[in-house]
Amino acid sequence: MITLRKAGDRGHARHGWLESWHSFSFADYQDPAHMGVGNLRVINDDRIQPGAGFGTHGHRDMEIISYVLQGALAHQDSLGNGEAGSGNVGVIRPGDVQRMSAGSGVLHSEFNHAKDEPTHFLQIWILPDERGIAPGYEQRHFDDAEKRGRLRLIAAPDGAGGAVTVHADARVYAGLFDGAERADVRLDPQRPAYVHLARGALEVNGRRLAAGDAVTLRGEPLLQLARGEDAEVLVFDLAP
């Protein structure tokens, strides 16, 4: 079964400094029909205005992935990441993937320090396999060439192939598709898959998606991506 959800059907919040589209129930947007897929709990499509951001706040027991599409996002946390002299500078840009394991509890902030450019990023929350783990942080860069015309694993439980390590039964892939580029990917029909089109246009199993659209696949053996127009896509292989 394949279910299409259009971008305009998502929850929407406008706070002046922030505009956010919620794929699943979040904050003031609550819809019992859209609480997540498998262990994927949140995809927020966020745009932060220059000089603004999320002040210091806390999280627990969540694997949080940030994926920047435009601009830069500066991160600081109570683990010391983002501070001067730390091993992780905490700034992510297009091509970077950041993973924060909130675990037993962590405080962090996220800011767009640019003077004239908004930051556009996806904030992704995945439920962990185990509660109360030690908090952790990781960021990695994936060149466009690694994603061109194919799906590149960017997050996985075992950090396979240089992916960031998530403490959850989930794998996240990113791909760039344009023109004749296509990918046919075998799926485990026992596991749900979720496809989120971050930008551009793309055909997913014969259905035409525009930026912000998504499809959920359940019981499907094959994922087909084709006829992209400057498309950037994320694909989630999720726990049943």
pLDDT in tens, 141-182: 999 999 999 999 999 999 999 999 999 999 999 999 999 999
pLDDT of residue 84: 58
Bridge partners of residue 109, in order along the sequence: 76
Is the pLDDT confidence value at 202 over 70? yes
With bands split at pLDDT 50, 70 and 90, how would you rate the model's confidence at 87? low
Bridge partners of residue 11, in order along the sequence: 22
Tokens matching residue 105: 């509890």
Residues in the chain, total: 240
Task: Give me the numbers of helices (H) and strands (E) for the chain, helices first please.
Answer: 1, 20
pLDDT of residue 27: 94
pLDDT of residue 67: 98
Is the pLDDT confidence value at 105 over 70? yes
Q: Pinpoint the alpha helices (H) of the chain.
A: 144-147
pLDDT of residue 165: 98
pTM recorded for the entire structure: 0.96
pLDDT of residue 90: 79
Note the pLDDT tens digit of each residue in 179-192: 999 999 999 999 99
Note the pLDDT tens digit of each residue in 107-123: 999 999 999 999 999 99
Please tell me the distance from the alpha carbon of residue 129 to that of residue 210, in angstroms, as a whole number: 32
pLDDT of residue 80: 85
With bands split at pLDDT 50, 70 and 90, how would you rate the model's confidence at 85? low
Average pLDDT of the chain, as a whole number = 95
pLDDT of residue 88: 57
Question: What's the rounded mean pLDDT across residues 218-231?
Answer: 98
- 2-238, CATH topology level: Jelly Rolls (2.60.120)
Q: How many CB atoms lie within 10 A of CB 80?
A: 13
Please tell me the distance from the alpha carbon of residue 137 to that of residue 36, in angstroms, as a whole number: 24
Write the DSSP symbol of residue 148: B
Please tell me the distance from the alpha carbon of residue 220 to that of residue 239, in angstroms, as a whole number: 14
Strands 164-165 and 151-156: parallel
Residue type, 55: G
pLDDT of residue 157: 97
